Amino acid sequence: MQSVPIIRRKGQTSGRSFVLVRWGLIPSWAKDPSIGTKTINAMSETAAEKPAFRDALRLRRCLIPADGLYEWQSIGPKQKQAFNIGMADDSLFAFAGLWERWQDPSGELVETCTILTTSPNALVADVHDRMPVILKLDHYDRWLDSKVNNPSSLAHCLKPFDPALMRKYPVSTRVNRPENDDQSCAQEVPISVAQPALF
């Protein structure tokens, strides 16, 4: 599974640490780490009730930094168009994440994470019925504060991000292949190039 960077509270201090963890949350009680393939994201509306996520939502929240995300829009029975979605000013942002620590049978500790999702804003709605929770800058401290352990007091952080501050553009089919992991995947292309001819 892919490793991703996260930012979390450094112990009980107000400081922050930047670490790499495995994407796909493995709860501490899991017997089989393959559960992580099903927990790469979590619905923010139900995470507090789900055994896989509820403890992490209370105690182990993190920021997952990004400069964009990809979503695919169906344009035919077997065709999808990829879009790069990010901030209008191309600035970095942070997804609302949860992290967990799991111990494998040999005793090795494995740290993992998941991204919370919410309903889509107006920019994303025509592409997908969900979107990652993008946190407002002034919500970062509260999201990371381990003293805030009542999920209902965090609900205001989990709203769809303001679409007026975001942008979306089509990208080429290069993004559809995991081995293509370079900057060219994020380059904008004309929609006529992004979408192959139907006839």
pLDDT band of 1, cuts 50, 70, 90: low
Residue 186's pLDDT is what?
Answer: 86
User: What is the reported pLDDT for 197?
Assistant: 47
- 21 located within any domain: yes
Q: Where residue 146 sits, what CATH number does that domain have?
A: 3.90.1680.10
Structural domains of the chain, count: 1
Inside any domain, residue 149: yes
The verdict on residue 114 lying in a domain is yes
Whether 71 contacts 169, CB under 8 Å: no
pLDDT of residue 2: 86
The whole-angstrom separation of Cα 127 and Cα 131 is: 10
What is the residue whose two structure tokens read 């192959």? 196
Q: What is the pTM of this model?
A: 0.90
Over residues 135-146, the pLDDT tens digits come to 999 999 999 998
